[in-house]
Structure 1
Amino acid sequence: MTNYTLEEKDSFTVLGLGTELKSDYTDYAGITKEKSDFWQVIKQDGRLDTLKAIATNDYIFAVNEAVNNKMMHYAGVMTEATVPEEHRVIQFPKGEYLIVRGEGQTADELSNKLTGIAFGQVLPEAKDFTYVGGPNATVEMGQRNGIVYGEMWIPVVRK
């Protein structure tokens, strides 16, 4: 099984700018394209830079959350501030989190790789814990030698 850890985390909030994902939840290619297009738009129009400017650290969150029966995807940061654009304060619960670490050539590649490992390998094979919903996030933590590194954080409960 892939390397992963379970870590206790205090509750935390992420301020996010979001988009509704319209692809069926089983359409991995469609979801991946929608997320990629969304990130490209917020990088080009400056909204991502606006978020980064008010962040309390260098982490960039790619958050997935079901809201009112809609599949939502957010670009977010940890901050106490707000932004003028429509945004959502995303509350992550205190508790145990599945942490999968990795790296990629780009933030998109990192996010896709970690999501695939977490939901395609670790969670289906897990015997002691399970994901019961709530927001989950890929956390871009920085770059080393041109490689983007980060983690996937998924709240889990013991079986």
Structure 2
Amino acid sequence: MADYTLQEKEGFTVLGIGTELKSDYTDFAGISKEKSDFWKSVEQDGRLDALKAVAANEYIFAVNEAVNNQMMHYAGVMTAETLPEATRAIQFPEGTYLVIEGEAETSEELSNTLTGIAFGQVLGGLEEYAYVGGPNATVEMGQRNGMTFGEMWIPLVKK
């Protein structure tokens, strides 16, 4: 099984610019393409730079959340500020989080790899905790030796 830790985190807010994912939740290729297209768009049109300008730290969040029966995906930053182009202030609860570290050549590869490990390997094997929904995020933390590094954060509840 993949390396992971369980960590206690204080609640926090991520300001996000989002899109609804239209692919079926089992269509990994379709979801990946939609996310990739969305990230290219927010990088090219300056919305990601606008978020970075109000960020409390260097972290870039790729957030997944079900809202009103819609599968949403957000580009976000940790901040107490707001922006007109932001679509949601995403509340992450205080509590226990599954944290998986990783690195990859690109942000997209990092997100896909960590998501696959979390949902394909680790969550099903946890005996004392469960993921019952709510926002989860891949957190891009920086670059080192030409690689993008970061973590997947998934809030858990005690079974």
TM interval, shorter chain, is: over 0.9
Which aligned segments of 4 or more residues in structure 1 are displaced greater than 6 angstroms? Answer: none
| Partner residue in 1 for 2:88 | 88
1:45 aligns with 2:7: no
CA distance in 1, matches of 2:90, 2:84: 16
CA distance in 1, matches of 2:95, 2:35: 27
CA distance in 1, matches of 2:93, 2:76: 16
| Partner residue in 1 for 2:68 | 68
Alignment-mate amino acid for residue 144 of structure 1: R
The answer (yes or no) to whether the contact 2:115–2:152 under 8 Å persists in 1 is yes
1:142 aligns with 2:142: yes
- Partner SS for 1:84: coil
Please report how far the alpha carbon of residue 38 of structure 1 lies from its aligned counterpart in structure 2 after TM superposition: 0.1
| Partner residue in 2 for 1:116 | 116
The answer (yes or no) to whether the contact 2:102–2:149 under 8 Å persists in 1 is yes
TM-score, length basis structure 2: 0.98
| Partner residue in 2 for 1:30 | 30
| Partner residue in 1 for 2:58 | 58
Please report how far the alpha carbon of residue 86 of structure 1 lies from its aligned counterpart in structure 2 after TM superposition: 4.0
**For residues 107-150 of structure 1, what are the alpha-carbon distances to aligned partners after superposition, in whole Å with 9 as ceiling and x for unaligned?**
00000000000000001122221101000000000000110000
Percent identical among aligned pairs is: 72
The RMSD of aligned alpha carbons is 0.7
Alignment-mate amino acid for residue 146 of structure 1: G
CA distance in 2, matches of 1:152, 1:133: 15
The answer (yes or no) to whether the contact 2:15–2:86 under 8 Å persists in 1 is no
